[in-house]
Amino acid sequence: MPATKSLPIVQLSGSPRELGLQHGRTLAAEIRVLRRALLTYLARVSLFAGALPLFASLRFLARRFWPYVPPRFREEMQGVAAGADLGLGTILLINVLDDLANNSPRCSALAAGGPYTGDGSFLLGRNLDYPVFTEVMVQHQTLFLLEPVKSLPLASLAWPGYVGVCTGMNRAGVALAQLTAMSRDRSLQGVPAALRFRQALEGGTDLPTAAALILQVPGTIGNNLLLCSGTAAAGLEISARRGVIRYPAAGLLLATNHYQTGLMAPLTGRFPPRPPLSALSPYHFTEAYSKARLARLQELTAETRLGPAKIQEILADPGIANPGTVVSAVFAPGAQKMWLARGRRAPVNQGPFQEIRLWD
């Protein structure tokens, strides 16, 4: 399958307000496309209620998070809204939709180093899977290169209007992959997940610092995170108010969408039902599927050398990728590089991987 058009790369620098204004002005048309996709989906599932009342209700719920958004991200979102000439409520909703829905229990990730990579340097691979909006997410995937004032430069693989980080790496060489974890410990009174993780990359001069920045901040939903530098990796199993760190076993660390530690397992929540119009089956929304992917990752990584090409192959395996896979990426933090799958549609692993050097 041929690759898609060139990956949009948007460079932003300056104060929070300046970052937002540049973002909004550059991607105003694309942000409207995402807004229209959400409205279209709501119209299709609302029967007689109509899209606009549901959209207004979601924006109202999103406002519950506003007091817990760090001030600099409030300024940045206000800048995005002003630059794109859209309401702030729409930009806020784009950034907290996952905190409201928490409906993505299909992601997979691995970190490998030590004997697995030969030279001991660590690599991070991840699939991000989404239940709906897959076509628009693939088409409008954007790489943001951010240089915030008084913070570390960072790269975020995201979408127009999105200021948080769910897949990214900072200039200090700390990479992050966010996975949803079904947790009973949820809250509307915490820093929205992707903003919590961006804070960690902005201030994480090394992996332990980034992990500490995440664990010290009250959150909203359950997540499994993989953090990776050139020399180390760690997994964070977190909920709104609790968290624990996992470390690699003999150089390997695997994660899907359920807690693996004894401390967090009792907090496991109910897996969500399949949302309307999803291309995925009900099985994809079960704990059994999460555990099956973890077992498959264990099979595929057993007794093998794991370089970037091999990890790309693993992420594309039919037992790992699925019709909701909108992002597939491999990071080499020590080399400041990433490889990104560029398929035309989900699963994007069907297309070639593009190598990207993030910083010289």
Give the per-residue pLDDT at 304. 87
Give the per-residue pLDDT at 1. 35
Which residues in the chain show pLDDT less than 50? Answer: 1-4
- Render 44-77 in DSSP notation, one character per residue: HHSTTS-HHHHHHHHHHHHGGGGGGS-HHHHHHH
Give the per-residue pLDDT at 5. 64
Give the per-residue pLDDT at 3. 41
Q: What is the pLDDT of residues 133-159, one digit of tens each?
A: 999 999 999 999 999 999 999 999 999
Q: What is the pLDDT of residues 247-290, one digit of tens each?
A: 999 999 999 999 999 999 999 999 989 999 999 999 999 999 99
Q: Count the alpha carbons within 13 Å of 21 in the hemisphere toward its beta carbon.
A: 6
Q: Which fold has domain 102-357?
A: Penicillin V Acylase; Chain A (3.60.60)
Give the per-residue pLDDT at 161. 98
For the chain, domain boundaries:
14-99, 102-357
Give the per-residue pLDDT at 47. 76
Distance CA 34, CA 179 (A): 22
Give the per-residue pLDDT at 221. 96
Give the per-residue pLDDT at 184. 94
- Render 116-144 in DSSP notation, one character per residue: TTSSEEEEEEEEEE-SS-HHHHHHT-EEE
